[in-house]
Amino acid sequence: AAKQLNYRPNPIATRLATGKSRSIGHVIPISTNQEMVNPIFSDFLAGAGEAYSKAGYHLNLSVANDENVVSSYKQMAELGVVDGILVQLPRFKDFRIPILQQLGIPFLVHGRVSTAKEEYSWMDVDNYRAFQKATQYLIDLGHTDIALINGLETMDFAYRRRAGFENALARNGLFPQAGYLKSNEMTMSYGYQSTHEIMKLKNPPTAFLVSSMIIAIGVRRALLELDLKLGTDISVVIFDDQLSYLANEGETPTFTALTSSVRKAGRRCAEMLISMVQGKKNSPYQELWESELIIGETTGPPKGYRGLVSPKKINPYPTLGFYRSDFPKKFVFGTASSSYQIEGHDYGNAGKTHWDTFAATPGNVSNMENGAIACDHFHRYKDDFKLVSTLGLDAWRFSTSWARIFPENMSIPNQEGLDFYDRLVDEMLSCGLKPFLTLYHWELPAYLSDQGGWTNRDIASWFGQFATTVGKLLGDRLYSVAPINEPWCVAWLGHFTGDHAPGLRDIRATARAMHHVLLAHGTAIQSLRAINVDNLGLVVNLEYSRPADNSEAAKSKADLYDAIYNRWFLGGVQKREYPKEALYYLEKHLPKNWEEDLATIGEPVDWIGINYYTRKLIAKGKEKFPGWLETDGNLPKTGMGWEIYPEGLGHLLRWVASDYANGLPIYVTENGMADHSNEFSKVINDDIRKKYLKDHIRVVKDVISEGVDVRGYFIWSLLDNYEWTLGYSKRFGLVHVDYNTMVRTPKSSCEALRNSLTSHNNEFKS
Contact predicate 320/672, CB 8 Å:
no
Domain span at residue 602?
A: 324-758
Q: Is residue 313 part of a domain?
A: no
How confident is the model over 120-134, as a mean pLDDT? 94
Contact predicate 220/234, CB 8 Å:
no
CATH number, position 61: 3.40.50.2300
Average per-residue pLDDT in the chain?
Answer: 91
Question: What's residue 27's pLDDT?
Answer: 82
Q: Same domain, yes or no, for 181 and 138?
A: yes
Residue 592, class by beta-carbon neighbours within 10 Å (0-12 exposed, 13-18 middle, 19+ buried)?
Answer: exposed
Q: Is the pLDDT of residue 388 over 60?
A: yes
Residue finishing a domain among 273, 303, 338: 273
Q: Is residue 714 part of a domain?
A: yes
β-partners of residue 289 are 125
Q: Is residue 307 part of a domain?
A: no
Q: Is residue 178 part of a domain?
A: yes
Question: What's residue 35's pLDDT?
Answer: 47
pTM recorded for the entire structure: 0.80
Q: Is residue 318 part of a domain?
A: no
Q: Same domain, yes or no, for 218 and 86?
A: no
Q: Is residue 3 part of a domain?
A: no
The better pLDDT of the pair 153, 549 is held by 549
Phi then psi for residue 542, to 5 deg, are: -120, 145
Q: Same domain, yes or no, for 477 and 622?
A: yes
Q: 2 falls in which pLDDT band (50, 70, 90)?
A: very low
Residue (of 90, 116, 122) closest to 269 by Cα position: 122
Q: Same domain, yes or no, for 72 and 135?
A: no
Inter-CA distances, 614 with 253, 553, 696, 735, Å: 58, 22, 11, 22
Lowest-confidence segment of 234-248, 303-317, 651-665, 666-680 by average pLDDT = 303-317
Q: What is the pLDDT of residues 505-536, one digit of tens each?
A: 999 999 999 999 999 999 999 999 999 999 99
Q: What share of the chain is helix, strand, coil (3-state, %, to 5)?
A: 45, 20, 40
Q: Is the pLDDT of residue 7 over 60?
A: no
Q: Same domain, yes or no, for 408 and 439?
A: yes
How confident is the model over 26-49, as a mean pLDDT? 72
Question: What's residue 761's pLDDT?
Answer: 45
Q: Same domain, yes or no, for 397 and 497?
A: yes
HSE-up of residue 255 (Cα within 13 Å, Cβ side):
30
CATH number, position 692: 3.20.20.80
Q: Is residue 193 part of a domain?
A: yes
Q: Same domain, yes or no, for 182 and 75?
A: no
Strand order in the sheet with 207-210: 181-183, 146-150, 207-210, 235-240, 256-259, 292-294
d(CA 751, CA 598): 46
Q: What is the pLDDT of residues 479-496, one digit of tens each?
A: 999 999 999 999 999 999
- Percent of all residues in the chain with a pLDDT value above 90, rounded to a whole number: 76
Q: Is the pLDDT of residue 386 over 50?
A: yes
Local structure of 321: helix, strand or coil: coil
Q: Same domain, yes or no, for 95 and 172?
A: no
Question: What's residue 600's pLDDT?
Answer: 99
Residue (of 443, 573, 591, 584) closest to 513 by Cα position: 591
Q: Is the pLDDT of residue 18 over 70?
A: no
Q: Is the pLDDT of residue 549 over 90?
A: yes
Cα 29 → chain centroid: 29
Local structure of 588: helix, strand or coil: helix
Q: What is the pLDDT of residues 189-200, one digit of tens each?
A: 999 999 999 999
Give the active site residues: 486, 670
Q: Is residue 58 part of a domain?
A: yes
Residue 713, class by beta-carbon neighbours within 10 Å (0-12 exposed, 13-18 middle, 19+ buried)?
Answer: buried
Q: 760 falls in which pLDDT band (50, 70, 90)?
A: low
Phi then psi for residue 585, to 5 deg, are: -95, -30
Q: Is the pLDDT of residue 439 over 70?
A: yes
d(CA 542, CA 566): 6
Question: What's residue 250's pLDDT?
Answer: 55
Helix (H) or strand (E) holding 446: helix 446-449
The better pLDDT of the pair 261, 365 is held by 365
Give the single-character DSSP code of 663.
T
Q: Is the pLDDT of residue 636 over 80?
A: yes
How many domains does one find in the chain? 3
Question: What's residue 700's pLDDT?
Answer: 99
Q: What is the DSSP string of 364-392?
A: SSGGG--SSSTT-HHHHHHHHHHHHHHTT
How confident is the model over 91-120, as a mean pLDDT? 88
